Amino acid sequence: METYDALLASIAPAAGAGRTILDPATGQPVGEAPVHGLDDLESAVAAAVAAQPAWAALGHEARSAALLKAADAVERSAEELARLLSREQGKPLNGPNARFEVGACLAWLRATAGLPLEPETIVDDGETRAELHYRPIGVVGAIGPWNWPMMITVWQLAPALRMGNAIVVKPSEYTPLSVLALAKVINEELPEGLLTVVSGGRDVGARLAEHPAIGKVMFTGSTATGRAIIKSSADTVKRLTLELGGNDAGIVLPDADPKAIAQDIFWGAFINTGQTCAALKRLYVHSDIYDAVCEELTAVAKAMPMGNGLDENNVLGPLQNKAQYDVVANLVEAAKASGARILLGGNPDTGRPGYFYPTTLVADIDNDNPLVAEEQFGPALPIIRYSTIDEAVEKANALDVGLGASVWSRDLAAAREVAARIQAGTVWINRHGAVDPRIPFGGAKQSGYGVEFGVEGLKALGVPQVING
């Protein structure tokens, strides 16, 4: 285990060769990130190609053991990693934030190491025998986002490595330090060349997506960037797993208990200060309990402190960058101008340092308002009134995205019936966004394709091979 300062120093570039990363809560420097270019990417890919065959030859048991050791290494440096994550990304140490994210890295590494993957006998009738196996792809390219930089990187690297692949990671330009530090710790337990982080710009990401030596690309981010990756990968027919933008709907049925569900709805929407692809971003509430839900949710939201992430009392932080702050601010202003009712927030303190936007709840808003129809990706939740279940389902399904959704009710059978009608990759009941390393996760419509997590996610990092005979 290294101290925080030693860990930060270990990933720093040579003097004058880096880029300063600023704390979104204070505007103060966090550290220097290397600026890698296309030559660095070529070196990383060449090292991955060289290292991968020996790694694949070790077999699942040895690779799983290495992942478990990597998890132990991350656990030894957990507090240092969480502190760096809090300073760079902005999320508080406490709540479902920085320490939670580092804990999720441990959980995914260990769960992925333990996933069973045995050959499947497809046919064995005395005349024909066919077995389905999964072989390594080779080298995987991973492009990650700035909202959960460590956790999503582990979602990408853990199954890739477990399946016998090498991996080259391109982190967001907003949060490279977190990913570099995480990889540095994990690499203490891996052979050289298997895992490399290339901290570059868009040119590096574009080249990674088209590189002929990369057999698969994993990407989490915007739908627009996902489309560009699809086009770039086409000439080399790469395998893809894309977890793209979402605008998740939640439907509260008329029998729900407003007080009982308010806190879970709040965290479904405001986890990581709303900066989560599978956060609840549109809440549809039946007219019978609309006012009660608004009242209970407002009471919960008022009690959640927002501020600098290193303050142990805070559970909400700033937006990670100015561009995202502006998106949220503009959408809320448009909602106010349309006549929507602000229950809480909507009044940022522009004299305060950092990209803090207050927790905002917006009621009596039309379904076609931009705050509802566009993914706000921040701490602002529109609450839309509905009269019939058919109306709520129609509105929930109206957009061209479908990552997650949720249904809230005391009647599980009724909730499941509604859930089956929603066009989304995952529909939770009486919770939202609860991902699990054992359960496949992926999007519908333009929220991407392919799944992560569980045995199905592990198979997606391999090439199926049938042995017939």
Would you please indicate which residues are annotated as catalytic (active-site) residues?
Answer: 243, 277
CA 284 to CA 187: how far, in whole Å?
45
Residue 253's SS3 state is coil
Q: Which two tokens stand for residue 383?
A: 């609450």
Q: Which two tokens stand for residue 146?
A: 């700035």
Positive or negative, the CA dihedral 318, 8, 184, 204 is: positive
> How many C-beta neighbours within 10 Å does residue 206 have?
18
> What phi and psi values does residue 81 have, to the nearest 5 degrees?
-65, -40
CA 317 to CA 307: how far, in whole Å?
5
Asked if 453 contacts 438 with a C-beta cutoff of 8 angstroms, the reply is yes
Positive or negative, the CA dihedral 436, 275, 21, 310 is: negative
Asked if 153 contacts 70 with a C-beta cutoff of 8 angstroms, the reply is no
CA 68 to chain centre: 22
Asked if 115 contacts 63 with a C-beta cutoff of 8 angstroms, the reply is no
Asked if 217 contacts 143 with a C-beta cutoff of 8 angstroms, the reply is yes
Asked if 220 contacts 377 with a C-beta cutoff of 8 angstroms, the reply is no
Contacts of 333 (CB under 8 A, 6+ apart): none
